[in-house]
Structure 1
Amino acid sequence: MFAFVGYPPTHLQMVYGVSATESGLLLVPMVVGLMATAFPSGQLMSRTGRYKAYPILGAAFVGLPRC
């Protein structure tokens, strides 16, 4: 996870020629999405004690075809 968060800013700067500030701002939606899914799922896991369904659902969601 940390490697992935570190790689896209470098890619954006080298390939697309954006500044460091722009590459950081382009990652804001990804970070917001990570927080928006991590907090509720963590609360549900701690409340119910069940955790196995979340990685399975996450892997299935990632595997869905994009339109």
Structure 2
Amino acid sequence: FGKVTRYYYYLLRQTEYLVFLVEGGFMSHPEDEMFLLTEEGLDQLAQAVFDGIHDFLLDQSSP
């Protein structure tokens, strides 16, 4: 978790827009794979991504 401060990633270098880069797990990791193959796992991941973006945007709008 954290902010990328270097512009190593192409996506972060080639846009004027705010970019969120999310790694939800790795299909090569058996536990991640099982988690990502379930509806509950995907729902949890989606909620976590939403919560993170929501919190970030709230922090940015605070004086």
What TM-score, normalized by structure 2, do the two folds share? 0.39
> Rg: which structure is higher?
1
Looking at secondary structure, tell me which structure has more helix per residue.
Answer: 1
